[in-house]
């Protein structure tokens, strides 16, 4: 049986490897996403969009100038959202949670197992990937719920601390928002805008570097639960990612940018041609399922890369410790011989 390559990958090499794996085993990964995310995305569209008010094939913009037609296609989407409160609640409290705790971990676990097979040059079997992930269904669900609760707690905690600091600063300066726009105040609206922008940038940096730091360090719990079969994996993910935060952050940043470019470009193309229609919504679901496996493969490769780096570090530490013990024994032996 072939083993995974024991060479760490940089960000560029990891992304290049993800494209190669997806290209070579496109059918299996795409079907995996269709099986787990396709139904949930379709239900989401049916619940949130008033399907009865949109055409089946293509939005009618006949007789309009080009820019007017584009404005009609892109500008009226908010009006198509359903006004049915029951459907919105059903999505918010049933479909969305099930997507996060069932579809997401099953997709990631299956893609991770299949990526492992691809790295070991073994057959990439969709059925085996589904079976392997389903065999760990409840541990994956439980770990994802714990991770989600931690994410919510960290985010709320950060928001409360940030708001408290802002409130204390306002009290310390003796000002309030009203004073920025008071005609008798020495502070101008321009200063308020500058302060607001500075606070917004500080908020974004803070939420990335505080909750984001912990969530990224904990985020590799899924493959640990899948392969090691004990615990919820969050503590082990913390140990596995030690010393790799900035490299993982770079991977996440590049991945987010590429995903935004691909998904945004696809959405603009589909909406520009077809507008809002039933078929265009189905196409968007299928295209979303095209991008999800690639992101899952990047995640899986990042995990295996961390394993290689961690195992290599542990091996070096073990060898160093063994060498120190051998030296101590030799010194003790020489000391005993001299004493005799």
pTM attached to this predicted model: 0.82
Closest alpha carbon to 14 in 298, 252, 258, 283? 298
Determine the pLDDT at residue 315. 42
- Is the pLDDT assigned to residue 326 strictly greater than 60? no
State how many domains the chain has.
1
Question: Could you tell me if residue 2 is inside a domain?
Answer: no
Question: Could you tell me if residue 98 is inside a domain?
Answer: yes
* Contacts with 63 (C-beta within 8 Å, 6 or more apart), sequence order: none
Q: Taking residues 296-320, what's their average pLDDT? A: 76
Determine the pLDDT at residue 187. 53
For 163-174, write each residue's pLDDT tens digit: 888 777 767 766
Question: Could you tell me if residue 5 is inside a domain?
Answer: no
Q: Taking residues 240-249, what's their average pLDDT? A: 93
Rounded Cα distance between 197 and 300, Å, is 37
Question: Could you tell me if residue 4 is inside a domain?
Answer: no
Determine the pLDDT at residue 76. 56
Question: Could you tell me if residue 111 is inside a domain?
Answer: yes
End-to-end CA distance of the chain: 54
Exposure of 306 by Cβ count < 10 A (0-12 exposed, 13-18 middle, 19+ buried)?
buried
Determine the pLDDT at residue 110. 97
Q: Which whole-number Å values give the CA distances from 259 to 25, 37, 45, 113, in the listed order?
A: 20, 17, 21, 22
Rounded Cα distance between 289 and 103, Å, is 12
For 63-121, write each residue's pLDDT tens digit: 665 556 566 655 655 556 777 888 889 999 999 999 999 999 999 999 999 999 999 98
- What percent of the chain is predicted at pLDDT more than 90? 46
- Is the pLDDT assigned to residue 321 strictly greater than 50? no
Q: Taking residues 322-327, what's their average pLDDT? A: 52
Question: Could you tell me if residue 3 is inside a domain?
Answer: no
- Is the pLDDT assigned to residue 324 strictly greater than 70? no
Determine the pLDDT at residue 113. 96
Provide the residue range defining the domain that includes 197.
11-339
- Is the pLDDT assigned to residue 335 strictly greater than 50? yes
- Is the pLDDT assigned to residue 219 strictly greater than 70? yes
Question: Could you tell me if residue 231 is inside a domain?
Answer: yes
Sign of CA pseudo-dihedral 83, 88, 90, 96: positive
Question: Could you tell me if residue 178 is inside a domain?
Answer: yes
């Amino acid at each position: 049986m072939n083993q995974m390559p024991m060479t760490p990958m940089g960000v560029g090499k990891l992304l290049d490897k993800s494209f190669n794996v997806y290209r070579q085993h496109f059918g299996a990964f795409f079907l995996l996403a269709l099986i787990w995310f396709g139904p949930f995305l379709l239900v989401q569209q049916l619940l949130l969009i008033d399907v009865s008010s949109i055409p089946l094939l293509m939005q009618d913009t006949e007789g309009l100038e080009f820019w007017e037609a584009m404005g009609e296609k892109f500008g009226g989407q908010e009006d198509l959202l359903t006004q049915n409160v029951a459907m919105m609640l059903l999505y918010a409290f049933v479909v969305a949670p099930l997507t996060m705790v069932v579809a997401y971990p099953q997709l990631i676990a299956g893609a991770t197992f299949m990526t492992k097979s691809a790295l070991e040059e073994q057959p990439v079997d969709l059925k085996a990937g589904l079976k392997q992930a389903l065999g760990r269904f409840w541990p994956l669900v439980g770990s994802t719920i714990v991770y989600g609760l931690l994410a919510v707690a960290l985010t709320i905690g950060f928001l409360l601390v940030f708001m408290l600091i802002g409130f204390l600063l306002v009290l310390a300066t003796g000002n309030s928002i009203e004073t920025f726009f008071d005609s008798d105040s020495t502070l101008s609206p321009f200063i308020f805008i500058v302060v607001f922008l500075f606070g917004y940038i500080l908020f974004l940096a803070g939420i990335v570097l505080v909750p984001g730091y912990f969530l990224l360090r904990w985020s590799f719990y899924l493959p640990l639960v899948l392969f090691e079969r004990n615990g919820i994996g969050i503590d082990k993910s913390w140990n596995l990612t030690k010393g790799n935060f900035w490299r993982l952050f770079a991977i996440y940043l590049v991945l987010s940018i590429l995903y935004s470019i691909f998904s945004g470009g696809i959405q603009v193309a589909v909406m520009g041609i077809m507008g809002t229609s039933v078929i265009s919504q189905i196409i968007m679901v299928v295209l979303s399922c095209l991008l999800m496996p690639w992101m899952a493969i990047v995640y899986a490769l990042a995990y295996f890369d961390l394993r290689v780096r961690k195992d290599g570090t542990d091996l070096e530490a073990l060898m160093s410790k063994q060498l120190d013990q051998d030296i101590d024994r030799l010194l003790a032996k020489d000391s005993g011989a001299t004493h005799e």
